[in-house]
């Protein structure tokens, strides 16, 4: 494990399977579809470093792959918010194994129902979709999904980002099911992955003075005197 962590920190390319083998088998099995792939995390980390982001919240942090890998590649302090307590436990174990638990913590709770920590940046990878793990895990977590819940979560995210301070960055991988408020401008885009990766930044309200038009009318010659 120390060898893998050192390789990631040193910028070497690590195979997906080399990282995933530190996940419990049932979470490893769904990794390709449910957790952010390592090349995407590397790009996210490069953007966070370029933007000088110090704090990040992963909304819907799952098994903790994005949080732990980003901690290895940046100096960010990271919080993962996850609705399933069993995934929070797995993510905490992963952070401890990679010895980044001094900068990465996980909160159990549903977005919009649990206070979301303030941060420079937020990451969302299909956070409000319906996810199936093994039957035992699903029963233990008592989490159920519905169209009404999905609509509630998407609306809560849009309202949360509308209230966020100017300068807030939002990184979406594939999206979150809604549109960010118009105050967010897309600053970076990478279309080389399975889903679109975008970085948005909240702009201040326009401070430009309203343009005033001065209309110059043609001078009218006085009528010739008769
Ligand atoms: C596609 S996974 C992404 C995991 C992680 N961000 C990553 O990239 O590796 C989305 C996660 O969001 C969680 N989730 C779903 N609805 C949520 C909600 N309302 N609040 C917090 N987490 C939620 C799911 O349980 C799932 O683990």
212 domain-assigned: no
37 domain-assigned: yes
Whether the per-residue pLDDT at 216 is higher than 70: the answer is no
Whether the per-residue pLDDT at 190 is higher than 60: the answer is yes
Q: Hey, which residues does 114 pair with through a beta bridge?
A: 111
Whether the CB-CB separation of 66 and 35 falls below 8 Å is answered with yes
Query: Which pair of structure tokens corresponds to residue 97?
Result: 């194994």
66 domain-assigned: yes
The crossing angle, in degrees rounded to 10, of helices 38-50 and 65-73 is 50
**Ligand 1 contacts CB of residue 80 (under 6 A):** no
Whether the CB-CB separation of 4 and 14 falls below 8 Å is answered with yes
**Ligand 1 contacts CB of residue 74 (under 6 A):** no
Whether the per-residue pLDDT at 70 is higher than 70: the answer is yes
Q: Which of 47-56, 70-79, 101-110, 209-218 has the lowest mean pLDDT?
A: 209-218
211 domain-assigned: no
Is the CA virtual torsion 22, 28, 33, 35 positive or negative?
negative
- Number of domains forming the structure of the chain: 1
pLDDT digits (tens, 9 = 90+) for 144-184: 788 899 999 999 999 999 999 999 999 999 999 999 999 99
Whether the CB-CB separation of 21 and 168 falls below 8 Å is answered with no
Pairwise CA distance, residues 71 & 98, whole Å: 9
From 26, 56, 127, 174, the mutation candidate for ligand 1 (largest count of ligand atoms within 8 A of CB) is 127
Whether the CB-CB separation of 31 and 20 falls below 8 Å is answered with yes
209 domain-assigned: no
**Ligand 1 contacts CB of residue 91 (under 6 A):** no
177 domain-assigned: yes
192 domain-assigned: yes
State in Å: Cα 86 to ligand 1 middle: 12
- Cα-based angle 5, 198, 41 (whole degrees, multiple of 5): 10
**Ligand 1 contacts CB of residue 8 (under 6 A):** no
Whether the CB-CB separation of 52 and 46 falls below 8 Å is answered with no
Q: Which protein residue's CA is at the shortest distance from atom 12 of ligand 1?
A: 60
Note down the domain range covering 108: 2-202
pLDDT digits (tens, 9 = 90+) for 194-207: 999 999 999 998 76
Q: Which protein residue's CA is at the shortest distance from atom 1 of ligand 1?
A: 34
List the CATH number of the domain containing 198.
3.40.50.150
91 domain-assigned: yes
Query: Which pair of structure tokens corresponds to residue 194?
Result: 């399975």
């Amino acid at each position: 494990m120390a060898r893998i962590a050192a390789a990631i920190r040193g910028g070497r390319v690590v195979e997906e399977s080399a990282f995933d083998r530190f996940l419990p088998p049932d979470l490893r099995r769904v990794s390709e579809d449910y957790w952010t792939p390592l090349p995407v995390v590397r790009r996210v980390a490069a953007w966070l470093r370029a933007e000088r982001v110090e704090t990040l919240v992963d909304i819907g942090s799952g098994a903790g792959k994005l949080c732990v890998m980003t901690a290895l590649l940046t100096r960010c302090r990271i919080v993962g918010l996850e609705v399933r307590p069993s995934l929070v436990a797995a993510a905490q174990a992963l952070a401890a194994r990679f010895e980044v638990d001094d900068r990465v913590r996980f909160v159990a709770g549903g977005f919009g129902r649990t206070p979301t920590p303030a941060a420079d940046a937020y990451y969302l990878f299909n956070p409000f979709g319906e996810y199936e793990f093994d039957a035992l895990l699903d029963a233990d977590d008592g989490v159920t999904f519905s169209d009404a819940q999905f609509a509630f979560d998407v609306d809560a995210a849009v309202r949360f980002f509308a209230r966020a301070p100017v300068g807030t960055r939002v990184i979406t991988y594939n999206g979150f099911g809604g549109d960010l408020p118009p105050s967010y401008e897309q600053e970076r885009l990478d279309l080389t992955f399975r889903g679109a990766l975008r970085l948005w930044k909240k702009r201040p309200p326009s401070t430009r003075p309203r343009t005033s038009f001065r209309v110059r009318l043609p001078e009218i010659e006085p009528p010739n005197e008769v």
